[in-house]
Amino acid sequence: MNNQKISVANTVKELIEQNPYVRNNLTDGLINISALARKLAPELETKFGKKIKEESLIVAIRRYSDEIKGKSIKEDYAKIFANSQLSMQENMAYAVLQRNEKTILALEAIVKETDWQVGELRIIIQSSPKIIVLLKKPRLENMLSQVEDCIIKKISDKTLLTLHAKPEDIITYGVIAEIAGLLSKKGIAIEPISVYSDLHFLVDEKKAEEAYSTLKEFLNKARQLTEENNKN
C-alpha cells in the first residue's frame, strides 16, 4: 500500500512537471486542487490499471504544491537561465509574405545590403507557401513598399527580447513555457521564435520595459539559486 502511494505521488509530480503552466499556477495558488485531481485521474487509472480515490490524488497534489511553494524557478531550469544572457532590440516589425520570385528577390537585396559589423538582427523563415520576415521597422517598410501585393500580414511596433543560451538548452522541454508563464502573470503576451542558440520573444513596445526587467530579475534569481546549489 505504501509503495502504491509513493508511486501515485511520483506520477502526479511527473504529470504536473510536464505541464509548466499548471505547475506555475499551482505555485501561485491559482489551481483548484480538486478539479486538477479529477483531471489527472483518468491518466493515472490507466497507468495503474485500477480506480484511484480522488482523496489520494488531492493529498499527492497538496504535498507537491507545498514542496514547490515559493520556488519561482524550477531547479532543473535554474542552471540554464543562470548561464543565459538577455538583450533587447526596439522598433521591430515583421510581415508574412507570399513566397514567390518577387519576394525572394526583395529578400536577396536585403541580405546583400547587410552590414554584418553592425549586428542588426534579421530573421527570415521560409515555408512552402509563405515567408516570415522580421526586421527593423524602417527597413521592413522599405522592403514592403516593393512587394505590397504579396503581403499577407504585417505587425509593427514590437520589441524583440532575446535569450542567448546553448542550443541544447533552448530546446529543453518547458523552457519556453517557463518564460511564457512568467510574463503572462504580468499580462504580457509574447510571440516566441527559436533560432538555434537564441530564443526570441516579440512583445508590444508598451510592455517592453516591464518584460525586460521581469526577465532580468528572473535570470538574476536563477544565478543566485545556482550559486547556492553549488555551495551546498
Q: DSSP letter at 186? A: T
Contacts of residues 122-130 at CB distance under 8 Å and 24 or more positions apart, as own/partner, are 123/94, 123/193, 123/195, 123/200, 125/193, 126/99, 127/99, 128/99, 129/98, 129/99, 130/96, 130/97, 130/98, 130/99
Lowest mean pLDDT among 8-22, 90-104, 107-121: 107-121
Residue 1's pLDDT is 41
For residue 81, give Cα distances in angstroms to 16, 47, 172, 194: 21, 34, 11, 15
pLDDT tens per residue, range 38-54: 999 998 888 888 888 88
The model's confidence at residue 116, banded by pLDDT at 50, 70 and 90, is low
In angstroms, the CA 5 to CA 59 distance is: 10
More confident residue, 17 or 89: 89
Average pLDDT, the chain: 82
pLDDT digits (tens, 9 = 90+) for 130-175: 998 888 898 899 899 999 999 999 988 899 998 888 777 766 667 7
Give mean pLDDT, residues 18-37.
79
List the one residue out of 97, 209, 89 whose CA is nearest residue 148.
97
Residue 212 above 70 pLDDT?
yes
Pick from 145, 152, 161: nearest CA to 92: 161
Q: Does residue 181 surpass a pLDDT of 50?
A: yes
Given a contact cutoff of 8 angstroms between Cβ atoms, the answer to whether 77 and 176 are in contact is: no
Residue 156 CB neighbour total at 10 angstroms: 13
User: What Å distances lie between residue 43 and 38, 145, 159, 232, CA to CA?
Assistant: 10, 53, 41, 37
pLDDT confidence of residue 4: 47
Q: Does pTM top 0.75 for this prediction?
A: no
pLDDT digits (tens, 9 = 90+) for 97-108: 999 999 999 888
